[in-house]
Amino acid sequence: MKKITLAASVLLLLSIVLSACNLQAAAPTQLSPEQVSTIAKATVDALTTQMAPPPATATPLPTEPPTATPTLAVPTLDLTAIPTLGLATSTLVPLPSQAVNSQCNVVFFINDETIPDGTVFKPGETFTKSWKIRNDGTCTWNTAYSAAPFSNDPSTPAITGDNIFKVPAQVVPGGILLISVTMKAPATDGTYTQVWKMNDAEGKPFGIGGPNGAGWWVNIKVSKTGSVTPSSVVGAASFDGTNYVGTITTTNATVNYSWQVYTGTSWPNLTDPKIDTFTSIHSNVDSYTGGKAGACTVAGLNTGDVLKVRLNMNEYGYAYVAESTCP
């Protein structure tokens, strides 16, 4: 629409110019058509410039507000709420330097120092008996401790003499004690055994293995002639898995024998005494057929207790079966 208006305006202007030229014919200066065209063109350009709309001003686009970048909410760990893990550590248990019983008062028998079992004495003869034992408990034996006779077999007549041995100095756990006492043989021929044990400061006895343990002993033979030869009658005893069996080796000897079991204080018979005359060099004796269970019952022992059985040949001594435990 603007272009049509502009063209009309130009044509109108040219008409006016041409009209003016015709009215002023007498004027000395005559404009040529080229000049008129140039002027008209200049005029049109000027009018075009004036009529042209002002240059468009770029309207700034509305600035979009910056898009907020979403922020991830990272939770904060409260480390104080996390329990501390206790790492398991190995505790080294120190091993004892030697095997020591956990009980306070325990005896370990080492050996006879003098007077082997079966030694022969004349009636009323005196002698010195010595044993060596070890403190196998956890308590120290002080001078209030002592050793003393605990039982006699037979109970009468019996071995007499020193009836107490006082510990001369402290014996620490693992320490050795030598016991020496003077004894006197009974006035009657026979075989005699006397069992000894330790007593603590309160007079309570304890022995091999603890308070209820066995004692140690002296075993002698008494003969008026003093000529009984222990080797003239030799016995042997063992457990064959079922029965207790034994043999006696001698020539033309009459032997009174029986099987016995140790209760911790005495040796009761498992069998009735029997007297046989052995004429052959190697003869079997009657067996004890009650086995370990029967022997433990007679002795009043419990499962796991130490079991001691022997063949008693009276004046000819004893033949001991290897120690075992009650089933």
Does this model's pTM top 0.85?
Answer: no
Provide CATH code, domain 229-327: 2.60.40
Tell me: pLDDT of 92 over 50.
no
pLDDT value at residue 90: 38
Confidence of residue 241 (pLDDT cuts 50, 70, 90): very high
In angstroms, the CA 20 to CA 45 distance is 21
The pLDDT-based confidence of 89 (bands split at 50, 70, 90) is: very low
- Domains of the chain, by residue range, sit at 2-51, 100-228, 229-327
Classify residue 22 by its DSSP letter: H
Give residue 234's pLDDT band: very low, low, confident or very high (50, 70, 90).
Answer: confident
- Asked if domains 100-228 and 229-327 share a fold, the reply is yes
Measured distance CA(136)–CA(140) in Å, rounded = 10
Give the burial class of 174: count Cβ atoms within 10 A of its Cβ; 0-12 exposed, 13-18 middle, 19 or more buried.
middle
Instruction: For residue 102, name the pLDDT band (cuts at 50, 70, 90).
Output: confident
- Quick one: average pLDDT of 238-247? 93
- For residue 312, give the nearest of 117, 171, 126 by alpha carbon: 117
Cα separation, 306 vs 213, whole angstroms = 9
**Domain 100-228, CATH homologous superfamily name and number:** Immunoglobulins (2.60.40.10)
Burial class (CB in 10 A: 0-12, 13-18, 19+), 122: middle
Q: Residue type for 219, please?
A: N
The proportion of the chain whose per-residue pLDDT surpasses 90, expressed as a percent, equals: 48
Name the region of 169 (left: φ>0; alpha: ψ -120 to 50; beta: rest). Answer: beta
pLDDT at 61 over 70: no
Residue 98: predicted pLDDT:
47
Distances (CA, A) of 279 to 236, 248, 314: 17, 10, 18
The pairing of strands 165-166 and 119-121 is unpaired
Contact 164/147 with Cβ under 8 angstroms?
A: yes
Phi, psi of 16, rounded to the nearest 5 degrees: -65, -45
239 vs 321: CA distance, rounded Å: 7
Give 122-131 pLDDT, tens digit per residue: 899 999 999 9
Tens of pLDDT, residue by residue over 162-195, are: 999 999 999 999 999 999 999 999 999 889 999 9
Helical segments of the chain, H only: 2-23, 33-51, 291-299
pLDDT tens string 279-307: 666 688 999 999 999 999 999 999 999 99
Strand runs labelled E in 200-273: 205-206, 216-222, 234-239, 244-249, 253-261
